[in-house]
Chain A
């Protein structure tokens, strides 16, 4: 099969996206309520955070605004998984009912086609919320601003987002082996709530686990050190883009491996 270039995939993506948004818009009430629900989630997360910090001025040497920076950073880096990879949640249903087989017959990359079918607009509210939080804490901490630092921020945000995408892909792919992957997905989905805390609060054993086995420390902590503490950046922070790519690649391989051995339900 001829390999197709990135331009080809972008063009297809745009077309599929337009279809998806059209179909979403036909359920307008559902769309509006879901968006409000998403905003509620973000507000309540923030209120919980605020109540906690009203009682404690700092945690483990991290001030309120620095923690807020981590929080905003994690919100932004968790947006791509929400917007672009939401179809992972339906994977177990397609696999169970046998509908998944339809994706296997398309002449384009299976993983790409499956994920591109759904774009979750609700996630954009989270993005706006995250950017607002980040900008606010950025100003309060008084970090300087330069094109270079912006570039760093963007690169690290994108690679950080790959971690959660990778975790979710791998969790969703378990349904090729165990049928009902909802609980695995839900477990992984809850990891994102732990990403906003500095990993230094954990004991060495769990610091190791959260860095290398369940790499949630790379969602916000390590990458944001590059911006927050420019004087003492650990090696792991610089490695975080590479680690993001590696984890994404592994999860892609797992997902495809599961999809390739899928044999349908016979109907």
Chain B
């Protein structure tokens, strides 16, 4: 019974996102273009550096890392901050709060449908193209399973961070600025723009202590490891789980406290 209400939200989400086939098509093209630019840029960089391995990463490693980071970003981006912000501005949030489901859960599950379509239409094609272009540099074995587990946790962490940032909108009533700040901070500190292996020393240590690297760096590192050491993998996933729980608690508490703040005009 409990599961049924979630599944019906997921189904509605799938139908909703299938309405925008053109959008998906444009997104695939955008990803391919990005892939091309990243490919040539890093090819030129590695050609100029004179060595094959920089900071423990080969050219194909870097390519896979960056392209899949973008694919993951597109897959995980749920526009949560926009959704919450707009619901607050329009007053629609009152109706959402009245629903017999926690708002945090409602929002997540109504988006879960587009996760599924995004996965099949953007992430999977990108993944296949990348593994074809790099001639099977992605090791296909146990690491895929760990990767999937890691991505699921990453989705949860990402959602919690988004939800916290969205909650800030209750106070500021500014969406664009808050969202762009979150986006650049997360993308840079999670290693999605430049792999964390390239970061200079003090910065690297700081970044590895922050929750952001669990979103992109952790799953991608697991994926790229061709002979995974179970202990290392479990350690990475353990850290992810820890952040997942911490962020979940923080986002829930913050929302609960902030709800007292809410003012909705008219209605």
Q: B177 near A35 (CB under 8 angstroms)? A: yes
Q: B30 near A: Cβ within 8 Å?
A: yes
Q: B198 near A51 (CB under 8 angstroms)? A: yes
Q: A48 near B172 (CB under 8 angstroms)? A: no
Q: Of B107-115, B136-144, B182-190, which binds chain A? A: B182-190
Chain A interface category by residue count: 35 or more
Whole-angstrom CA separation of A197 from B43 in the bound complex: 13
Task: Give the contacts of A54-81 with B (CB-CB under 8 A).
Answer: 54-61
Whole-angstrom CA separation of A123 from B166 in the bound complex: 24
Whole-angstrom CA separation of A201 from B188 in the bound complex: 24
Whole-angstrom CA separation of A162 from B96 in the bound complex: 44
Q: B41 near A: Cβ within 8 Å?
A: yes
Q: B174 near A47 (CB under 8 angstroms)? A: no
Assess A180 versus B184: contact at CB under 8 Å? Given A60-B44, A201-B40.
no
Task: Give the contacts of B28-73 with A (CB-CB under 8 A).
Answer: 29-30, 33-34, 36-37, 40-41, 43-45, 47-49, 54-55
A55 neighbours in B (Cβ, 8 Å): 49, 54-55, 198
Q: A48 near B40 (CB under 8 angstroms)? A: no
Chain A, Cβ-Cβ closest to B182: A37
Whole-angstrom CA separation of A52 from B200 in the bound complex: 10
Q: Is the interface of A mostly helix, strand, loop or mixed?
A: helix
Chain B interface category by residue count: 35 or more
Whole-angstrom CA separation of A202 from B42 in the bound complex: 11
Chain B, Cβ-Cβ closest to A178: B22
B172 neighbours in A (Cβ, 8 Å): 29-30, 33
Q: A99 near B: Cβ within 8 Å?
A: no
Assess A36 versus B177: contact at CB under 8 Å? Given A178-B22, A180-B20, A180-B23.
yes
Task: Give the contacts of B128-169 with A (CB-CB under 8 A).
Answer: none
Q: A97 near B: Cβ within 8 Å?
A: no
Q: A187 near B: Cβ within 8 Å?
A: yes
Whole-angstrom CA separation of A186 from B27 in the bound complex: 9
Q: A203 near B27 (CB under 8 angstroms)? A: no
Whole-angstrom CA separation of A45 from B180 in the bound complex: 12
Task: Give the contacts of A98-138 with B (CB-CB under 8 A).
Answer: none
What are the 5 A-B residue pairs with the smallest beta carbon separation, nearest first? A33-B177, A34-B177, A37-B177, A30-B174, A201-B44
